[in-house]
């Protein structure tokens, strides 16, 4: 970023005076260096004190990013997840004192929407106790140059905002932009967010019973913070003291709105905050907090408060986590020691090593503990034999699946073709077969089976009935998917085809639905396997619609109370279609 000069009149004279003063300071510093007779190579040279004088502040003023007006309400770009992490997260070697960097702090609200702030000040305190303070005008960021590498705490003061003291790790060029290759005036650049709370926003803070940041509880349970705290918290506000059924009633969003940390895998805001309450009515108010959907408590929010604090301990946290038991046996009921059990969460933050390939004991039993509420793909393997299922684990749920029977290993060859018969690369998805269930609930969210064009893909089958479909891969490195997809095909280990299974992918077509009945409120679109592909609402200003590949389908209409109205069969060809329900 370049600093625009001030031109003309008093601005020009003041700029000239500042430049003259800066030049004089540089001249004096140069003469002092020459008189000392030192150089960077002198071994007996005394270390120079850190430069935090007012003259340095003149030489390194705050600079605003260009284009602030265009980005004032735009979400801030993705930055490293640990950009505001506590100091103890990184054990870096002491930084070299002769290396300096430029810090760019982007002003954002706790939900990461960019804001304009200023005029104000930014104070940076280094771990060795030295401080640096700069002023900045109205803008979307502040820039400070000439900072020695190290750990800092930052505090912003700006009208209309509150800032919670924030830890910044500027100790290693590893955390600088482009690994330090992005430079300004010869210095590496650290670009981090500075979280500013608007005046009507209140921080929701969680601490341990003894006053430590709540992130310490994860270590007590042997987990990483993100594996247990991402999307774990939910707060709401009441005007009056809440009753025992307060959480069972809908939240009143005219009083306050809770906003948790936004962004992938983010679980904490500065100062042990788990989110913010945007107050739409003035305090006093009652604020409540849930942890993994289980109420923790209520606290009074008095007028003028900038935070509300809740207490949590490891025992209360663990009570909200689930437990899963099962036993792996063969078709004769004989235990299978050493069978491998994996529980893969839909939310990637919740995936853990101790839930991957857990080995069954001598009696074929496996117990998985501290399971965060989420949907999971359960996979049980023994040799080539496979069992697969999708599980929804509720808060504090203890589930015993009993015996998981692994039959003889079975494999089918899968070929993927386009409608014209030509081969194509594709991702293969395998899930359990449950008639009447939604396809979304049956197929795992992660794509892990990739078939190259023309490949005869050997697909290991679960012991129960399963479904498989193919989605055309696209994009750089073929890591993405297109809209072209095959219908689901039923796989039964007791009735496998003699030859390869061909999955034909086709381009989906827009299908619109209308109903002549005033009672029709919703409809479900089902395929030939009785799987629900779409659930749609009727009666709006625009016809309900879905994207469907060519094939045979049924539309099942229902009243507002769920009572069935009838089923209509229809055929999708290679063109848009309007389906009129009776």
**Whole-number percent of the chain with pLDDT over 90:** 68
pLDDT at 34: 38
Mean per-residue pLDDT, 487-506: 91
The distance from CA 96 to its chain's CA centroid, rounded to whole angstroms, is: 35
Please, which residues bridge with residue 213 across strands?
A: 207
Which run of H or E residues covers position 376?
strand 374-382
Cβ neighbours of residue 407 closer than 8 Å, sequence gap 6 or more: 330, 331, 385, 463, 493
How large is the average pLDDT for residues 98-127? 95
pLDDT, residue 214, reads: 97
φ, ψ for residue 174, nearest 5 deg: -60, -30
Q: Parallel, antiparallel, or unpaired: how do β-strands 577-581 and 509-515 relate?
A: parallel
Q: How far apart are CA 270 and CA 169, in angstroms?
A: 13
pLDDT of residue 384: 86
Task: Out of 200-214, 374-388, 452-466, give the one with best mean pLDDT.
Answer: 200-214
Give the three-state DSSP class for 22: helix
Say which residues have a Cβ less than 8 Å from residue 302's Cβ, sequence separation at least 6. Answer: 283, 284
Overall size of the chain counted in residues: 582
Which residues are within 8 A (CB) of 495 and not within 5 positions of it... i.e. 6 or more apart? none
Encoding tokens for residue 509? 């077509």
Task: Decide which of 447 and 300 is more confident.
Answer: 300
Q: CA–CA separation, 535 vs 557, rounded Å?
A: 10
DSSP string, 416-427: EEETTS-B--EE
Q: Is the confidence at residue 553, as pLDDT, over 80?
A: yes
User: Residues 158-173: pLDDT tens digits?
Assistant: 999 999 999 999 998 8
Instruction: Give mean pLDDT, residues 275-285.
Output: 97
Position 33 confidence tier, pLDDT thresholds 50, 70, 90: very low
CATH architecture of 60-198: Sandwich (2.60)
Residue 126 has pLDDT above 80, yes or no: yes
208 versus 79: the higher-pLDDT residue is: 208
Asked whether the predicted pLDDT for residue 273 surpasses 50, the reply is yes
Chain center to CA of 248: 27
Query: Would you say residue 67 has pLDDT above 80?
Result: no
Q: Mean per-residue pLDDT for 9-26?
A: 40
Q: Residue 244: its pLDDT value, please? A: 87
The two three-digit tokens of residue 485, written as one number? 């997809």
Domain layout of the chain by residue ranges: 1-33, 60-198, 201-318, 337-405, 410-505, 509-581
Mean pLDDT of 126-155: 96
User: What's the CA gap between 337 and 207, in Å, rounded?
Assistant: 43
pLDDT (mean) for 386-391: 91
Q: Give the per-residue pLDDT at 97.
A: 56
Contact between residue 226 and residue 284 where contact means Cβ atoms under 8 Å apart: no
Res 448: pLDDT:
78
The confidence band for 478, taking pLDDT boundaries of 50, 70 and 90, is low
Residue of 332, 437, 354, 340 whose CA lies nearest to 386: 340
Percent helix, strand, coil in the chain, to 5, is 15, 45, 40
pLDDT above 90 for 472: yes
> How far apart (Å, rounded) are the C-alpha atoms in residues 139 and 63?
9
Q: What is the pLDDT of residue 477?
A: 61
Where residue 508 falls among pLDDT bands split at 50, 70, 90? very high
pLDDT range class, residue 47, cuts 50, 70, 90: very low
Q: How many helices (H) and strands (E) in the chain?
A: 6, 38
- 86-112: average pLDDT: 72
In sequence order, which residues have a C-beta less than 8 Å from that of residue 444 and are 6 or more positions away? 344, 346, 377, 390, 429, 430, 431
Cβ atoms within 10 Å of 149's Cβ, excluding its own: 24
- From the candidate CATH numbers 3.40.50.300, 2.60.40.10, 1.10.4000.10, 1.20.58.390, the one assigned to the domain spanning 509-581: 2.60.40.10
> Is the distance from CB of 372 to CB of 344 less than 8 angstroms?
no
291's CB contacts (< 8 A; 6+ apart) are 232, 233, 312, 316, 317, 320
Minimum mean pLDDT range among 21-25, 381-385, 462-466, 467-471: 21-25
CB 470 within 8 A of CB 486: yes
The yes-or-no answer to whether 60-198 and 410-505 have a common fold is: yes
Distances (CA, A) of 444 to 100, 373, 432, 468: 48, 16, 10, 11
What confidence category does residue 75 fall into, taking pLDDT thresholds of 50, 70 and 90? very low
Q: Say yes or no to pLDDT of 121 above 90.
A: yes
Residue that has been written with the tokens 């490949």 in this structure:
455
pLDDT at 38: 38
The yes-or-no verdict on residue 370 having pLDDT over 90 is yes
State whether the Cα torsion 263-81-167-65 is positive or negative. negative
**Beta-carbon count within 10 A of 15 CB:** 14
Torsion on CA atoms 267, 272, 274, 276, rounded to nearest 10: -130
What's the pLDDT score for residue 476?
63
CA–CA gap between residue 255 and residue 237 (Å, rounded): 7
Among candidate residues 136, 8, 145, the one with its CA nearest the CA of residue 68: 136
Average pLDDT over residues 193-216: 97
- 35: its two tokens: 């008189």
The C-alpha torsion from 296 through 226 and 107 to 97, rounded to 10°, is 130
Determine which helix (DSSP H) or strand (DSSP E) holds 75, and give its type and residue range: none
Phi, psi of 449 (to 5 degrees): -115, 110
CATH code assigned to 410-505: 2.60.40.1120
Encode burial over 245-282: b for 16+ CB neighbours within 10 A, e otherwise: ebbeeebeeebbbbbbbbeebbbbbbbbbbbbbbbeee
Structure tokens at 522: 């919703």
76, 309, 374, 378 from 274: Cα distances, Å: 19, 10, 19, 30
Contacts of 162-165 with CB under 8 Å at 24 or more apart are 162/196, 162/197, 162/199, 162/201, 162/306, 163/194, 163/195, 163/196, 163/197, 164/195, 164/197, 164/203, 164/269, 164/270, 164/271, 164/273, 165/270, 165/271
Q: What is the pTM of this model?
A: 0.73
Distance of alpha carbon 98 from alpha carbon 175, whole angstroms = 18
Rounded to an integer, the average pLDDT of 283-300 is: 97
Span 400-418, pLDDT tens digits: 999 999 988 888 999 999 9
How high is the pLDDT of residue 219?
A: 95
Of 128-137, 178-187, 324-333, least confident by mean pLDDT is: 178-187
Is residue 278 over pLDDT 80?
yes
Q: What is the mean pLDDT of residues 123-137?
A: 96
User: Does residue 569 or residue 88 have the better pLDDT?
Assistant: 569
Q: Which residues contact 59 (CB under 8 A, 6 or more apart)?
A: 22, 25, 146
pLDDT at 212 over 90: yes
Cβ–Cβ under 8 Å, residues 278 and 201: yes
Mean pLDDT score of the chain = 83
Q: Does the pLDDT of residue 489 top 90, yes or no? A: yes
Angle at 421 (CA atoms; ends 420, 426), nearest 5 degrees: 105
Please say whether the beta carbons of 285 and 238 come within 8 A. Answer: yes
Strand partners, 152: 126, 168
Q: Work out the pLDDT band at 341, boundaries 50, 70, 90.
A: very high
């Amino acid at each position: 970023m370049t600093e625009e000069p001030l031109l003309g009149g008093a601005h020009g004279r003041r700029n000239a005076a500042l430049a003259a003063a800066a030049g004089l300071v540089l001249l004096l510093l140069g003469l002092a260096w020459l008189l000392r007779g030192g150089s960077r190579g002198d071994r007996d040279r005394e270390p120079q004190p850190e430069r935090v004088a007012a003259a340095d502040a003149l030489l390194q003023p705050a600079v605003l990013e260009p284009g602030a007006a265009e980005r004032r309400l735009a979400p801030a770009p993705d930055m490293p997840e640990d950009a505001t992490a506590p100091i103890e997260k990184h054990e870096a070697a002491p930084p070299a004192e002769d290396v300096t960097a430029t810090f760019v702090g982007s002003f954002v609200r706790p939900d990461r929407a960019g804001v304009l702030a200023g005029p104000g000040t930014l104070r940076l305190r280094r771990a060795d106790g030295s401080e640096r303070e700069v002023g900045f005008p109205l803008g979307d960021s502040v820039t400070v140059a000439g900072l020695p590498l190290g750990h800092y705490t930052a505090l912003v003061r700006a009208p209309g905002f509150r800032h919670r003291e924030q830890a910044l790790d500027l100790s290693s060029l590893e955390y600088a932009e482009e690994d330090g290759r992005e430079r300004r005036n010869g210095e590496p650049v650290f670009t981090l967010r500075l979280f500013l709370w608007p005046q009507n926003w209140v921080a929701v803070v969680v601490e341990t019973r003894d006053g430590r940041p709540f992130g310490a509880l994860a270590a007590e349970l042997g987990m990483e913070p993100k594996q247990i705290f991402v999307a774990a918290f939910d707060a709401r506000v009441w005007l009056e003291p809440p009753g025992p059924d307060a959480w069972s009633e809908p939240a009143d969003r005219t009083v306050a709105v809770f906003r948790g940390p936004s962004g992938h895998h983010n679980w904490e805001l500065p100062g042990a905050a788990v989110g913010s309450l945007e107050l739409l009515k003035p305090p006093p108010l009652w604020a409540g907090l849930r942890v993994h959907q289980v109420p923790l408590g209520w606290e009074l929010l008095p007028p003028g408060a900038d935070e509300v604090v809740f207490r949590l301990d490891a025992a209360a946290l663990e009570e909200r986590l689930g437990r899963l038991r099962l036993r792996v046996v063969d078709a004769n009921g004989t235990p299978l020691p050493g069978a491998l059990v994996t529980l893969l969460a839909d939310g990637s933050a919740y995936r853990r090593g101790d839930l991957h390939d857990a080995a069954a004991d001598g009696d074929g039993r496996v117990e998985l503990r501290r399971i965060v509420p989420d949907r999971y793909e359960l996979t049980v393997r023994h040799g080539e034999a496979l069992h697969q299922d999708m599980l929804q684990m509720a808060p504090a749920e203890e589930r015993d699946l009993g015996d998981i029977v692994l039959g003889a290993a079975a494999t089918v060859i899968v070929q993927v073709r386009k409608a014209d018969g030509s081969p194509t690369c594709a991702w293969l998805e395998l899930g359990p077969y449950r008639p009447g269930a939604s396809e979304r609930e049956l197929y795992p969210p992660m794509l892990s089976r990739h078939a190259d064009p023309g490949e005869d893909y050997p697909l290991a089958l679960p012991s129960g009935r399963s479904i498989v479909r193919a989605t055309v891969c696209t994009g750089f490195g073929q890591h993405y998917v297109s809209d072209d997809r095959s219908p689901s095909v039923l796989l039964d280990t007791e009735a496998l085809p003699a030859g390869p299974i061909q999955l034909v992918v086709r381009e989906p077509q827009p299908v619109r639905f209308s109903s002549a009945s005033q009672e029709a409120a919703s409809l479900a679109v089902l395929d030939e396997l009785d799987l629900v592909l779409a659930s749609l609402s009727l009666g709006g200003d625009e016809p309900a619609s879905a994207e469907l590949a060519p094939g045979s389908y049924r539309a099942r209409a229902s009243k507002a109370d769920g009572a069935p109205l009838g089923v209509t069969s229809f055929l999708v060809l290679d063109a848009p279609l309007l389906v009129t329900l009776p």
